[in-house]
Chains A and B, each alone.
Chain A
Amino acid sequence: MTDVPVRFVPTDKAPTRAARMVDDFTPALIEVGEHHLCPGCGEPIAMRSVLEVIAELDVVQRSIAVFGIGCYTAFSNNLDLEVCQALHGRAPSVATGIKRAKPNTVVVTVQGDGDMVNEGLQEVLHTAARGESVTCIMLNNGVFGETGGHLTATTVLGQRTKNTLDGRDAEQHGYPILISNLIAQLEGAAYVARGAVNTAGNVSRTKRMITRAFETQLERRGFSFVEILTMCPTGWFIETEEAPAYLDDNLAAVHVGGVLKDW
């Protein structure tokens, strides 16, 4: 049996044939694409969507991002955007201060599930209840990725983490907090949605949710919140290519995607 040579298309430089570029390597607002996050991480995918929306809505010059503490914080000093670094879990309160001091700014927070739901749950709940005109983005992978991969308050039952090696057990570790559902009950929250970045279709749906969240703030309708389920193959102890299906079967089965509230 002889192997038929596979004919690959050259991909080392831009095409010489007439063509238009429809997507560049890094989004315009990320200065250096290289980062130290693990292979298969979902957080840079979510960051790309958020930054593309800021650029598309043409609010770059008046946007201020507030970062929490997590792996995604690697992007906080790598953006062509004003960034304020908050203490662990306190980003929504910092965002409140910025928005009240400078009402014409567009304020977005980026937090993880450990940062928002474990470390600073009350900050986001009170910010939402007050109906602050800020947009909060939460990247939910169900583990404290940066500090070793132990369980967070959003870890789903049965999920293996560094300190729940036999899976999260309700009797021993309690039940996960479904943060979007919690926030959606608050009257001050105008827009609440839960997306994911495990497939190209979900990335595109999530980007529409982020756009709507920013529109909520621009129209001063109240608090806007988008939870984004992201992959953490390192923290989940699985191969990178298995992570999108693992997200669907585990996280997304409990933290169900969709728009929970829209004005």
Chain B
Amino acid sequence: MLTRGTVVIDVEACKGCDLCIDACPPRVLEMTVHEVNGRGYRYPRLLPGCTGCKACSQICPDFVFQVYKYDDPVEILA
């Protein structure tokens, strides 16, 4: 899967609101089902295919995402 960017996720800051999941244009964020953070909230995890578009960081109410764009796109096995 061609991947142009990535995110760092501050899992402990997340309140599990799900807004990033639908906001992500390539739909590469997926909420945990059973795993929760220290405060008991589910949190998002990243699949290959991120474009570094900032949609997740711009819509996140809890400032959970730090977004990077790779200088050169990489292939990551899905």
Cβ proximity bits B55-67 to A, threshold 8 Å, 1 near / 0 not: 1111111111111
Counting contact residues on chain A (CB < 8 A from B), the size range is: 35 or more
Q: Tell me if B36 counts as interface (CB < 8 A to partner A).
A: no
- Say yes or no: A39 contacts B61, CB within 8 Å: yes
With known contacts A11-B45, A11-B46, A244-B22, A33–B63 Cβ distance under 8 A: yes
With known contacts A7-B77, A14-B8, A199-B59, A240–B17 Cβ distance under 8 A: yes
Counting contact residues on chain B (CB < 8 A from A), the size range is: 35 or more
**What is the interface of chain A mostly: helix, strand, loop, or mixed?**
loop
Contacts of A38 in B (CB 8 A): 15
- Say yes or no: B5 contacts A244, CB within 8 Å: no
Contacts of A42 in B (CB 8 A): 61
Contacts of B52 in A (CB 8 A): 22
- Say yes or no: A33 contacts B77, CB within 8 Å: no
- Say yes or no: B63 contacts A6, CB within 8 Å: no
Contact for B60 among A7, A12, A19, A45, CB less than 8 A: A45
Q: Which residues of B in the span 1-37 have a Cβ within 8 Å of any Cβ on A?
A: 3, 5-11, 13, 15-19, 21-23, 25, 30
Interface residue stretch chosen among A24-32, A54-62, A186-194, A217-225? A24-32
Q: How far is the CB of B16 from chain A (nearest CB, A)?
A: 6
- Say yes or no: A30 contacts B63, CB within 8 Å: yes
Q: Which residue of A lies closest to B66 (CB)?
A: A25
Contacts of B63 in A (CB 8 A): 25-26, 30, 33, 44, 48
- Say yes or no: A7 contacts B41, CB within 8 Å: no
- Say yes or no: B70 contacts A203, CB within 8 Å: no
15 contacts between A and B (CB under 8 A): A9-B48, A15-B68, A18-B72, A19-B6, A22-B5, A25-B64, A39-B16, A44-B61, A44-B63, A48-B58, A199-B22, A200-B23, A241-B19, A243-B19, A244-B22
Residues of A near any B CB (own CB < 8 A): 6-9, 11-15, 17-26, 30, 33-35, 37-45, 48-49, 197, 199-200, 203-204, 233, 240-241, 243-244
> 7 additional contacts, CB 8 Å, given A19-B70, A37-B61, A40-B61?
A11-B8, A17-B70, A21-B66, A22-B54, A23-B65, A33-B10, A34-B13
